[in-house]
Structure 1
Amino acid sequence: MDLIGLDIGSTGAKCIITDSDGNVMAQAYEEYSMESPISGYFELNPQIVWKAAQSILHSVIRQCNKRSTHLAGISISSFGEAAVLIDKEGRELGNSLLYIDCRGNEQLKTFIKKIEADEIILKTGLKPHSMYTLSKLMWYREEQPDIYAKIHTFLPFGSYILYKLGASPILDYSLASRTMAFDVRRLQWDEHIIKTAGLNKKIFPEIAALGTVVGQISLEAARTFKLPSNFKLVLGGHDQVCAAIGAGITEEGSAVDGIGTVECITPVFSKETINEQDMASSNLALVPFIKGKYTTYAFNFTGGSLLKWYRDQFGYEEKMEADLTGRSVYDIMSENVSDSPTNILVLPHFAGSGTPYMNPLAVGAVLGIDFNTTKSDLFRALMEGVTYEMRQNIECLEQAGIRIDKLRACGGGAKSDLWLQIKADIMNKTIVALDIDEAGILGTIILCGVALGEFSSYEEATRRLVKVNKTFHPQAKNRKQYDENYAKYKRLYQAVNEVMSNEAMER
């Protein structure tokens, strides 16, 4: 049995086909661009995304040649919040508003005057914010009533692609939880929130658990992609949830550290074990997971993007060497880095802050450099700064009752032995590097395989598909210095943002 996994991101779509032992049979990727018609507006054209999905599906199926008859099903992951608006004829009603789009801000202010923020947090597991789908729908109702009147339903991008392949309008609990209208305990749409928002409950689609078989491919799509007529469509979910599944995170005490452009720690826990007030105070969402468990997202907007900034600003010579030798530029930059901690503090808020602050106006800082500071010192300090930030997030998770015994690392940053050892030392946690390029897509493969009976359980799928690379243990020799530096780091955010706030007020 061969399975297709597809991930829809905000800037590109990627797809792989694997056999039931996880061997990659084919893969493809295609980029697309968001649109920004005016300042503060950020949109994604769903038809362009569908075109890209079609292109990579054709590509991977062609790569499989005669094995296409073995293809059994597909599952899809995607980013959340943004929704494709669909009319009763199944047509898209324009572009989708991304989570960074400013529209919905004013509508949210009016909304939270009518309903207590605590009620929203209790029901949805979210602090009120204009990024969520509910705010965007309220904006359409007020500012684009002609379009709002035509909405038959709406779908996040993963569910939208399934819909185009033949599924009915349906989404899973994890993506529903990014709307700010979904009761994460009762696992259903909250009628009071929807009514208070002034929205029509009939436009809210059907919901189901991750990994539900939601039908089979339409005859038209089967002909288009040359797939079997009994090819199954399996409900995927939010990309971070799928990444956790793809990393083998299924039981409490474990978490995945996805070190990509954005760094995100995704743990597993039971809602009975947590302090929801502590979670809310740290801006940690409550998200339905598999097997009756829950997860959350502790994240920083700058992970690998901070090292990319360093490469572009300071790594010209190393990039030239990488181009000549074919080696990774990051491996070359790591070669001259000291084995010892630096005393440089880097506040990694180069694009605002994620959890626990969720401050879009937060700024970065570099403190402690002198004439002896080298490029390599700064490179290491950037990795340390990001890791201090994620240690603070781990402390917030543990304060809320979420135990983390070890971290499984995936993503581009997990290829750096230097960075993973820094993480183990600063966090005082064992870090297990996974031999996985795309944990999110592997998660959709696992969801598909379990749903179709190829794997008897998530545990069996993990044993067969998730490969461990190296393990990094904390080094006692660095513990004292890192603990001292971390204590200073925690005071840095308040100090920097107090200075920046005072300067803004003076201007």
Structure 2
Amino acid sequence: MAQYILAHDLGTSGNKATLFSTDGKMVGSRIVSYDTHYFKEKWVEQNPEDWWKAVCLSTKQLIGELGVHPEDIQVVSFSGQMMGCLCVDENGNPLRDSIIWADQRATKQVKDLEEHLTQEEFYRIVGHRNTPSYGIQKLMWIRDNEPDTYDRTYKVLNAKDYIVFKLTGKFVTDYSDGNSMGCFDLENLTWSDRILEASGIDPVKLPDLKPSTYVAGGVTEEAARATGMAPGTKVVIGAGDGVTANIGAGSVDEGKTYCSIGTSAWVTTTAKKPIFDPEMRTVTWAHAIPGYYAPNGTMQYAGGAFNWMKEAVCTGEREAARQSGTSVYDLINEQIEQAPPGSNGLLFLPYLLGERAPRWDTASKGSYIGITSETTRADLLRSVVEGVTYNLGIILDILQQHIAIDEMIIIGGGAKSPAWRQIMADVFGMPVKVPTILDEAGSMGAAIIGGVGAGLFDDFHVVDRFIEIERSEQHNPENKRVYEEAKRRFNDFYFALRPVFEKHQAEGADGWL
């Protein structure tokens, strides 16, 4: 009799329910979307009941359409958006919409914390900078601006934690989502007394911290009726989406590293200790695997910069693709491959939305540098991909100062481009491996966590059963030498322009110069 694991990936745009067999095969998936509410420029919220409805509907669709017997689902586990702030009462009823990761309203609360802790002190505790993105700053904002809601708050949850409550009635979170609250002691895996004292937040409002493999309980009768699952099905709490992807991309041993290229992009590895960069350019998450950490650098706009180039520069390719019925991406890749490595000296700073790692610079702008009378269209296109990859290469260089990394698994939309894959191999100077399935790392990671937690798998090395490497790109030593020099100039030009960007931001000008 077949046995299955159900994984839910609660993202920003919707929930994906994916069913895996215990032999590592993906059986099917269903996505149910929900709304995100953007307002007052920096405010971003979601209705948590939309999450629950999406989980219920996607589960019922998946079970019904695949003809799976609910009793054959051995465990359900989760990957979920991180750095949220959902206030619920003692019965688990939401007291307001959830303030999600993208919300940036809590700037005053960041400054309030800075009166008690320097950025470096905060970073050394949490592994992250003190910014408005994290949960504790958002909860401080609620306390300061919605005191009645704060007083009535029994627990503060992230997205997956709310669904775990709806299924089991338990208020828990895992270490990775605890880390995303911004009041977490990374080395001791506990809530940080020092940050909580500085914040003035009552620690009893925080959920219990557990490993990602923790079985919160079984699906209740009420939840079974709502979802179509069998009562008593084991519920494993899983982890935040940035960490479940570590598992699903095979980063389960020290030095195993992957790069995800979507709208944003990141490089993440696995380590036995947190990496505290003296310049605070990278961050460290608590890993889903007990005893490990997930050092990471995330850039703001990677595939996003490629998409900007496609829309703003590639009008000819888009029209040709429309007329011929071919892929615009294939036509763009053909152009990219016509330019030499280094794009004839042309550089592109991919900072169209400012930058997180390694710059932490909200003022920086996207820029072409080095255009000459001999610059070609192919140079313009290739330099965008190279600029994104240089930025990722700098993140990799920082991680390599602390840990040995000799190969890279790449996932996400950018991994579909042969030209980009080769550029990554050459810039990183190491083999780049591409799995057969590029877009399921979060769901796959959640499934593996669930299987380990439920006792179906001995350990996380079972990921080898789930991942099949489709191809591997080897780096070209000559191209690597070209890119090492180009990456150095890329870095030099950024630092030369940073004072100009900062002056521009301070003046509040609408143009860039």
Letter in 2 for 1:292: G
CA distance in structure 2 between the partners assigned to 1:315 and 1:51 by the alignment: 40
Out of 206, 210, 213, the residue aligned to residue 211 of structure 1 is 213
C-alpha offsets along residues 308-353 of structure 1, whole Å, 9 cap, x if unaligned? 1122223344345545666543123212332621121010111110
CA distance in structure 1 between the partners assigned to 2:52 and 2:334 by the alignment: 43
Q: Normalising by structure 1, what TM-score?
A: 0.94
CA contact (8 A) 2:16 2:29 kept: yes
C-alpha offsets along residues 384-415 of structure 1, whole Å, 9 cap, x if unaligned? 0000001111111123x132211111111111
| Pairwise CA distance, 1:283 | 4.0
- Equivalent residue, structure 2, for 1:412: 413
CA distance in structure 2 between the partners assigned to 1:376 and 1:48 by the alignment: 45
Root-mean-square deviation (CA, aligned residues, Å) is 2.0
CA contact (8 A) 1:184 1:288 kept: no
The answer to which of 376-385 and 262-271 deviates more is 376-385
The answer to which of 307-316 and 178-187 deviates more is 307-316
CA distance in structure 1 between the partners assigned to 2:283 and 2:504 by the alignment: 30
Letter in 2 for 1:338: Q
Alignment of 1:353-432 (within 5 A): 353-399=355-401, 401-432=402-433
CA distance in structure 2 between the partners assigned to 1:338 and 1:419 by the alignment: 13
Letter in 2 for 1:331: D
C-alpha offsets along residues 353-411 of structure 1, whole Å, 9 cap, x if unaligned? 01122112221111123444343332211110000001111111123x13221111111
Alignment of 1:138-287 (within 5 A): 138-271=140-273, 276-278=276-278, 281-287=280-286
- Equivalent residue, structure 1, for 2:484: 483
Secondary structure in 1 aligned to 2:283?
A: coil
CA distance in structure 2 between the partners assigned to 1:290 and 1:51 by the alignment: 30
CA distance in structure 2 between the partners assigned to 1:122 and 1:362 by the alignment: 26
- Equivalent residue, structure 1, for 2:434: 433
Which runs of structure 1 show a deviation greater than 6 angstroms over 4 or more consecutive aligned residues?
none
CA distance in structure 2 between the partners assigned to 1:24 and 1:142 by the alignment: 46
> Structure 1 residues 303 and 505, CA, compared in 2 at 3 Å: closer, same or farther?
closer
Secondary structure in 2 aligned to 1:265?
A: strand
- Equivalent residue, structure 2, for 1:456: 458
1:111 aligns with 2:113: yes
C-alpha offsets along residues 211-253 of structure 1, whole Å, 9 cap, x if unaligned? 2211111101112222222211111111121111001111112
CA distance in structure 1 between the partners assigned to 2:8 and 2:183 by the alignment: 26
CA distance in structure 1 between the partners assigned to 2:277 and 2:464 by the alignment: 36
The answer to which of 446-455 and 261-270 deviates more is 446-455
CA contact (8 A) 2:363 2:505 kept: no
Secondary structure in 1 aligned to 2:6?
A: strand
Structure 1: give runs of 5+ residues left out of the alignment. Answer: none
Secondary structure in 1 aligned to 2:409?
A: strand
CA contact (8 A) 1:22 1:464 kept: yes
CA distance in structure 1 between the partners assigned to 2:398 and 2:39 by the alignment: 38
CA distance in structure 2 between the partners assigned to 1:258 and 1:28 by the alignment: 22
Letter in 2 for 1:10: T
Alignment of 1:311-330 (within 5 A): 311-322=310-321, 327-330=326-329
Alignment of 1:467-482 (within 5 A): 467-482=468-483
> Structure 1 residues 146 and 378, CA, compared in 2 at 3 Å: closer, same or farther?
same
- Equivalent residue, structure 2, for 1:62: 64
> Structure 1 residues 433 and 275, CA, compared in 2 at 3 Å: closer, same or farther?
closer
CA contact (8 A) 1:11 1:33 kept: yes
Paired residues, what number? 502
The answer to which of 25-34 and 341-350 deviates more is 25-34
| Pairwise CA distance, 1:107 | 2.0
Identity %: 28
CA distance in structure 1 between the partners assigned to 2:505 and 2:184 by the alignment: 38
> Structure 1 residues 27 and 275, CA, compared in 2 at 3 Å: closer, same or farther?
closer
> Structure 1 residues 127 and 178, CA, compared in 2 at 3 Å: closer, same or farther?
same
1:334 aligns with 2:333: yes
CA contact (8 A) 2:218 2:234 kept: yes
CA contact (8 A) 1:340 1:478 kept: no
Q: Normalising by structure 2, what TM-score?
A: 0.93
CA contact (8 A) 1:123 1:185 kept: yes
CA contact (8 A) 2:119 2:130 kept: yes
| Pairwise CA distance, 1:171 | 0.7
| Pairwise CA distance, 1:110 | 1.9
Letter in 1 for 2:216: V
Structure 2: give runs of 5+ residues left out of the alignment. Answer: none
